[in-house]
Amino acid sequence: MIFSWSETHTHYKRHLSTTSNSQTPNSTMAKTKELSKDTRNKIVDLHQAGKTESAIGKQLGVKKSTVGAIIRKWKTYKTTDNLPRSGAPRKISPRGVKMITRTVSKNPRTTRGDLVNDLQRAGTKVTKATISNTLHRQGLKSCSARRVPLLKPVDVRARLKSAREHLDDPDEDWENVIWSDETKIELFGKNSTCHVWRRKNAELHPKNTIPTVKHGGGNIMLWGCFSAKGPGRLIRVKERMNGAMYREILSKNLLPSARALKMKRGWVFQHDNDPKHTARATKEWLRKKHFKALEWPSQSPDLNPIENLWRELKIRVAQRQPQNITALEEICMEEWAKLPATRREEKRREEKRREEKRRERRDERRGETRRDERREEKKEEEKRRDKKSREEKRRVEKRREEKRREEKRREEKRREETGEERREERREEKRIEEKRREEKSREEKRIEEKRREEKRRDGRGETRGETRRDETREEKRRKKKKREEKRRDEKRRGQSNLLYKTE
C-alpha cells in the first residue's frame, strides 16, 4: 500500500494524538536519546531476516517495546526516517538557509555577525546561535584554518611526484630513516588562529587554510632529529645558521644520534631543501661521510613527521611557562628528553586511527546512499525472486505433472509387461511341472522295473533251488535204486551160488 506524503503525515498525526490521549495527564516520561538511523535500519534488516523482537533487542541493546514500535512504523509507512512532527516552524526559511550556506561556501571566513546582518536586511531577525544550528544541520562547523606552506605549481608537481614514488614503500623502510629539522620557539608568543566554516575532510582546501612563509622569527632556534626507535639529539643554534655551522652540527650530532638509536646499516638521513642543506659543500660532506640523503620536495614541512614532535614540544613548554631565554632552553631540553619513542608511535597510530575514522565517516556517508540503493535493489531483487519463485513453482508443478503422467504410463506398461511375464511364467511353470511329472513317472517306472527285476531274480533263485532239490532227490532215488539193485544182484548172486553149491 502506497501513501502520499500528506496521507502519511495525517496518519502519523492521528497515531500521535491517539498515543498522547491514552496517557494520563499526570503521567511523565523521561526523554530518552533517539536511536540513530543506522540502528533503526539494522532493526528492520534483522526483522526481515526472521529474528524476533526480543532477539533483536538483546543483540542491539534496545528495549523490546522500542524495537516493536520501529517495526510497526516501518510496516505502516515503509520508512525509518523521522516523520514530520508538530511544533513551531523554523525561524530561517529554506530560501534563507540556501542563502547563508551559499555565502559561507563562497567565503568560509564569513562571521556569524555578518550572516545575522544579511538576514536582518532580508527581513529575518535571528541570533548567532540560530545561525550556528542552521549551519550545523547543513554539515558545516567552525574550525581553525590550517596553516600550510605557500605552494607554487612546480612545488605541487614535485610533491605529487615524491608521493607517487614512495606510495608502496613498506614501513620497514621508513623505520630506517633519521628525520631532522629546525624550529623556532617563542618565549611569550601566541599562535594566532582563524576560524572558517567548512565541511568534514575539507581542512586542506585553499579557502580553509592560512599560507605560511619560512623564517617567521622566534626567540631560540633548535635543531633536532629522531627516528622510529626514539629521539636523537636536540641542540640550540645560538647564532645565525649558515652552511659551515650546519655541517658542524651534523658532524657533532648526526652520527652519535644514529649510534644511540642503533640504526641499521644503510640508514637514510632526511633534511629539507633549505639552501644550507642543498649547498654543494654540504652535499660533498655527506658524500664523503657516506651518508645517504632522502630526496625531499620543496615547501613540504608538513610531510616531515618531526613536525608532530615540535608541536608536542611547544605545547609542553608553554604549559611550564618559562620566564626567560635560559629557562626556555632548559625546559626545551627537559621536555625533549621526556618524549619517548612510544609516544611518537602512539602519535603515528593515532594519526592512522584518525585517518581510518575519516575514511569510515566518508564511507558511512556513502553507505547511506548505498544502503538506500541496496534497499531498492533488495526490493527489486525480492520482486525478481518472487517472480522467479512463481515461475519455478509453475515449472516444478509442470515437471511433477509430467512426472506423474510418465509414472502412470510406466505403471500401465509395467502392468502390461507384468501380465505377459506372469502368463509366460505360468507357461514355464506348467512346462516345469509337466517335466517334473514326467521325470517322476519315469522314476516310478524305473523303480517298478527294478522291483520287477528283483522279483524276477528272486523267482529264478527259487526255481533253481527246487530243481536242485529235485535233482538231489532224484540222485538219492537213483543211488537208492542202485543200492537196491545191487542188493538184489548180490542176493541173486548169493542165491545162485547157493544153488550151485547145492547141486
What CATH number is associated with residue 54? 1.10.10
Cα end-to-end span (Å), the chain: 181
Q: In terms of domains, do 180 and 309 share one?
A: yes
- Residue 333: domain span: 147-162+170-192+201-339
Pick the range with the lowest mean pLDDT from 34-48, 167-181, 257-271, 488-502: 488-502
Structure-derived torsion over alpha carbons of residues 242, 244, 245, 246, reported in degrees to the nearest 10: 80
Distance CA 177, CA 229 (A): 10
Q: In terms of domains, do 244 and 279 share one?
A: yes
Q: Which of 285, 305, 339 marks a domain boundary?
A: 339
Domain count, the chain: 3
Average pLDDT over residues 128-140: 92
Q: What is the pLDDT of residue 22?
A: 37
Average pLDDT over residues 168-197: 80
- Please name every residue paired with 270 in a beta bridge, in sequence order, or none if there are none: 179
Is 430 domain-assigned? no
Strands 195-198 and 141-144 turn out to be antiparallel
Is 121 domain-assigned? yes
Q: In terms of domains, do 98 and 243 share one?
A: no
335 Cβ contact list (under 8 Å, min separation 6): 313, 316, 317, 320
Q: What is the pLDDT of residue 4?
A: 38
Q: Which of 291, 315, 339 marks a domain boundary?
A: 339
Dihedral-angle region of residue 467 (phi above 0 means left; psi in -120 to 50 means alpha; beta otherwise):
alpha
Q: In terms of domains, do 275 and 328 share one?
A: yes
Q: Which residue has the higher pLDDT, 171 or 109?
A: 109
Is 50 domain-assigned? yes
Q: What is the pLDDT of residue 24?
A: 38
pLDDT, the chain, mean = 81
Distance CA 69, CA 263 (A): 63
* pTM, full prediction: 0.46
Q: In terms of domains, do 2 and 41 share one?
A: yes
pLDDT for residue 211 is more than 70: no
174 Cβ contact list (under 8 Å, min separation 6): 228
Q: Quick one: DSSP state of residue 145? A: P
C-alpha cell read off for 69:
514500535
Q: In terms of domains, do 155 and 132 share one?
A: no
Distance CA 439, CA 437 (A): 5
The pLDDT confidence band at residue 461, using thresholds 50, 70 and 90, is low
Q: In terms of domains, do 299 and 153 share one?
A: yes
pLDDT for residue 104 is more than 90: yes
- Please name every residue paired with 198 in a beta bridge, in sequence order, or none if there are none: 141
Q: What is the pLDDT of residue 416?
A: 78
pLDDT for residue 213 is more than 70: no
Backbone angles phi, psi at 296, to 5 degrees: -135, 130
Q: What is the pLDDT of residue 330?
A: 92
Q: In terms of domains, do 6 and 103 share one?
A: no
Q: What is the pLDDT of residue 11?
A: 42
Q: What is the pLDDT of residue 223?
A: 95
Pick the range with the lowest mean pLDDT from 100-109, 177-186, 369-378: 369-378
Q: Which of 321, 339, 357 marks a domain boundary?
A: 339
281 Cβ contact list (under 8 Å, min separation 6): 243, 244, 247
Pick the range with the lowest mean pLDDT from 137-141, 368-372, 395-399, 414-418: 368-372
Is 230 domain-assigned? yes
Q: In terms of domains, do 247 and 268 share one?
A: yes
Is 368 domain-assigned? no
Q: What is the pLDDT of residue 422?
A: 78
pLDDT for residue 31 is more than 60: no
What CATH number is associated with residue 152? 3.30.420.10
Pick the range with the lowest mean pLDDT from 105-119, 424-438, 454-468, 475-489: 454-468
Exposure string for 343-374, b = 16+ CB within 10 A, e = fewer: ebeebeeeeeeeeeeeeeeeeeeeeeeebeee
C-alpha cell read off for 163:
608521493
C-alpha cell read off for 21:
490521549
Q: What is the pLDDT of residue 474?
A: 83
- What are the start-end ranges of the H helices in 166-272? 171-175, 243-260
- Please name every residue paired with 381 in a beta bridge, in sequence order, or none if there are none: none
Distance CA 22, CA 15 (A): 11
Q: Which residue has the higher pLDDT, 238 or 321?
A: 238
Is 27 domain-assigned? no
> What are the tens digits of pLDDT across the range 311-369?
889 888 888 888 888 899 999 999 998 886 545 566 667 777 888 888 887 777 776 77
The pLDDT confidence band at residue 32, using thresholds 50, 70 and 90, is low
Q: Which residue has the higher pLDDT, 365 or 108?
A: 108
Exposure string for 11-30, b = 16+ CB within 10 A, e = fewer: ebeeeeeeeeeeeeeeeeee
Q: In terms of domains, do 323 and 267 share one?
A: yes
The pLDDT confidence band at residue 35, using thresholds 50, 70 and 90, is confident
Q: In terms of domains, do 74 and 123 share one?
A: no
Average pLDDT over residues 449-458: 79
Average pLDDT over residues 70-87: 85
Is 311 domain-assigned? yes
Pick the range with the lowest mean pLDDT from 264-273, 345-354, 413-422, 438-447: 345-354
Average pLDDT over residues 392-421: 84
Q: In terms of domains, do 295 and 228 share one?
A: yes
Dihedral-angle region of residue 287 (phi above 0 means left; psi in -120 to 50 means alpha; beta otherwise):
alpha
Is 478 domain-assigned? no
Q: What is the pLDDT of residue 442?
A: 86
Q: What is the pLDDT of residue 217?
A: 42
Strands 292-293 and 220-227 turn out to be unpaired
pLDDT for residue 143 is more than 70: yes
Average pLDDT over residues 176-202: 79
For residues 226 and 193, the answer to whether their CB atoms sit within 8 Å is no
Q: What is residue 211's three-state secondary structure? A: strand
